């Protein structure tokens, strides 16, 4: 039997139901794993083992009475620190942010607690969530469990590292340009960017979503059954839909799938990433799917425009801070957004307009296909100390070409591991679905999970 800390949420719930395991022993095992690994990994913030044990005890009593609170009662969970939990500050990865305890749980945290999830800790992120890196002015440097000199990616950096290291089975991140899928790809886990509005969040914003980060597709689906429940605080949420999240096993025969290997801008895809993604596509073809190449459809103008809009948005917040506070922000982030100081209204508006251009380009590319496959990122992970794979604040988004358009388009997309580099780092395959077809991308990911070669053992990080 696997170590308790490595068991999936699906297996844990079944073991609680059949009284083979108790939430207390599982929580203790996960706490022991964290205590052994965290000094090197730095994935967590506001880690509270005492509260977690207390919550596990309460869950144990509920299971003993046969009255679990919900679908994940007694399952250890971490939550990205920018998702508010009542009584805990929300530093947003930035030393300049005041540490004021949150007044209430944000929707994903509220759903997690209502369903009985055991909150172990919050997970780390870079300043304002605007880096695909574990680098932060507030948190210690988060590292990748597959190779401690490598970056876990981000901005859901701690969540990616925690999932790969076995800090329990369920983790949640947020994603506005790839922040769930990129660390999922670089840490070898499953990360779902749901359709825009599928998982209620607060505050909502264009392109921003929250999604599960887990080791298996079924655990992501299970967590979606909890997180997708309605919350009136999200003014951009979709109407609630009763989706059969755990009905995952479907064939792929006859599906028409596009294979997208050059986004059109940004870093070129490395040969080993391209090889791994093509190999994944061949597995789908062998199972009866129709695979067709999709040419590049994004442009330099699109990402440069979105970059201008994001810089302007960041500067609007940061320009209000005192010079002392500004000096506390990660220099890379400050240097990036300060360039917006003298942007004209036209520069910002034409930047904003690229969101629509990107959305239209992806909708057009997807028409005629059930799904599109692509690399999650053009390259595998990069040095832990870097802010991005290019590490240049004036070229901040060269690595998000395959992921960002999906945020602007609103479609669901999942990252799942499809291979390893020569050095043993994971390579992510992105599956993009039609708008609102969240269950479709999970079914295709589940099909891939059953077809792909056996995965390497999960990394063990010992202090």
Partner 1 sequence: MTDTMRYTVESGDLENIVSRLLDIVRRLGVSVSKLAVEVDGGKASLEIAVAPSSQSIANTLRERIGQIEGAKPA
List contacts with partner 1 (CB under 8 A): 261-262, 264-268, 274, 293, 295-300
Q: Which of 461, 458, 3 is nearest to 190 (CA)?
A: 458
From CA 7, how far away is CA 26, in angstroms rounded? 9
What is the nearest approach in angstroms of partner 1 to the Cβ of residue 261? 7
Q: In the complex with partner 1, which residue's Cβ is closer, 260 or 332? A: 260
Smallest distance, Å, CB 369 to partner 1? 17
**Contact call for residues 12 and 21 (beta carbons, < 8 A):** yes
Closest CA relative to residue 298, chosen from 194, 215, 377, 406: 406
Closer to partner 1 by Cβ: residue 197 or 266: 266
Pick between residue 57 and residue 264 the one whose CB is nearest to partner 1.
264
Which of 199/298 has CB closer to partner 1?
298
Smallest gap from residue 408 Cβ to partner 1 (A)? 17
Distance CA 222, CA 170 (A): 9
Q: Rounded to the nearest whole angstrom, what is the least distance from the CB of residue 396 to partner 1 in the complex?
A: 16
How many whole angstroms separate alpha carbon 409 and alpha carbon 366? 11
| CA nearest neighbour of 202 among 104, 101, 302 | 104
Q: Are 184 and 216 in contact (CB under 8 A)?
A: no
For 456, the 3-state DSSP assignment is coil
Which DSSP state fits 101?
Answer: B
The label of the residue with tokens 């986004």 reads 263
DSSP 3-state of 40: helix
User: Smallest gap, in angstroms, from Cβ of residue 300 to partner 1?
Assistant: 6
Closer to partner 1 by Cβ: residue 49 or 296: 296
Shortest Cβ 453–partner 1 spacing (Å) = 25
Least separation, in Å, of the C-beta of 263 and partner 1?
A: 8
The smaller minimum CB distance to partner 1, of residues 299 and 328, is found at 299
- For tokens 């009584």, the residue is 87
- Tracing tokens 């940004």 back to the chain, one arrives at 266
Residues 134 and 155: their CA atoms lie apart, in Å, by 7
Residue from 130, 52, 122 nearest 81 by CA: 122
Which helix (H) or strand (E) is 419 found in, with range? strand 413-420
Work out how close the CB of 325 gets to partner 1 at its nearest, in angstroms, rounded to a whole number: 37
Nearer to partner 1, 364 or 455 (CB): 364
Q: Which helix (H) or strand (E) holds 192?
A: strand 190-193
For partner 1, give the closer residue by CB, 282 or 300: 300
Nearest distance from residue 297's CB to partner 1, in Å? 6
Number of H helices, E strands in the chain: 14, 11
CB 73 within 8 A of CB 11: no
Q: Which is nearer to partner 1, 51 or 392 (CB)?
A: 392
Q: What does the alpha-carbon distance between residue 394 and residue 383 come to, in Å, rounded to a whole number?
A: 19
Instruction: For partner 1, give the closer residue by CB, 7 or 429.
Output: 429
Q: What are the E-state strand segments in 33-136?
A: 44-45, 76-80, 118-123
Beta carbon of residue 273, minimum distance to partner 1 (angstroms, whole number): 12
Q: Is 211 helix (H, G, I), strand (E, B) or coil?
A: strand
């Amino acid at each position: 039997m696997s170590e308790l800390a490595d068991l999936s949420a699906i297996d844990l719930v079944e073991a609680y139901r059949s009284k083979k395991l108790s939430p207390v022993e599982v929580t203790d095992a996960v706490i022991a794993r964290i205590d052994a690994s965290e000094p090197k990994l730095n994935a967590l913030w506001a880690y509270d083992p005492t509260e977690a044990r207390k919550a596990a005890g309460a869950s144990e009593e509920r299971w003993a009475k046969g009255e679990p609170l919900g679908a994940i009662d007694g399952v250890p969970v971490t939550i990205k620190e920018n998702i508010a939990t009542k009584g805990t500050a929300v530093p947003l990865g930035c030393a300049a942010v005041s540490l004021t305890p949150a007044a209430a749980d944000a929707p994903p945290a509220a759903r997690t607690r209502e369903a009985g999830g055991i909150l172990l800790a919050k997970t780390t992120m870079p300043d304002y969530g605007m880096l695909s890196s574990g680098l932060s002015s507030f948190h210690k440097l988060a590292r990748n469990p597959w190779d401690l000199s490598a970056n876990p990616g981000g901005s859901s950096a701690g969540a990616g590292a925690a999932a790969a290291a076995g800090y329990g089975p369920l983790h949640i991140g947020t994603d506005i340009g790839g922040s769930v899928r990129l660390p999922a790809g670089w840490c070898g886990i499953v990360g779902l960017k749901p359709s825009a509005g599928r998982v209620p969040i607060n505050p909502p914003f264009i392109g921003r979503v929250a999604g599960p980060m887990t080791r298996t597709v079924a655990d992501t689906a299970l967590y979606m059954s909890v997180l997708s429940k309605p919350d009136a605080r999200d003014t951009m949420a979709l109407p609630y839909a009763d989706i059969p999240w755990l009905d995952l096993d479907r064939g792929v025969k006859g599906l028409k799938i596009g294979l997208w290997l050059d986004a059109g801008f940004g870093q070129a895809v490395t040969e080993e990433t391209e090889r791994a993604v093509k190999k994944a596509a061949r597995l789908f073809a062998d199972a009866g799917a129709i695979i067709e190449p999709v040419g590049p459809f994004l442009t330099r103008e699109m990402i440069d425009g979105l970059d201008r809009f994001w810089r302007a948005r960041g500067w609007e917040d940061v320009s209000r801070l005192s010079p002392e506070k500004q000096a506390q922000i990660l220099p890379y982030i400050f240097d990036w957004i300060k360039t917006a100081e003298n942007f004209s209204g036209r520069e910002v508006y034409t930047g904003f307009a690229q969101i629509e251009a990107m959305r239209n380009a992806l909708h057009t590319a997807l028409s005629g296909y059930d799904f599109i496959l692509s690399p999650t990122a053009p390259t595998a992970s990069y040095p832990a100390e870097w802010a991005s794979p290019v590490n240049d604040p004036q070229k901040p988004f060269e690595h998000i070409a395959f992921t960002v358009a999906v945020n602007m388009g609103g479609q669901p997309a999942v990252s799942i591991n499809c291979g390893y580099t020569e050095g043993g780092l994971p390579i992510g395959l992105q599956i993009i679905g039609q708008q609102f077809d969240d269950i479709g991308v999970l079914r295709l990911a589940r099909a891939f999970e059953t077809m792909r070669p056996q995965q390497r053992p999960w990394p063990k990080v010992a202090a």
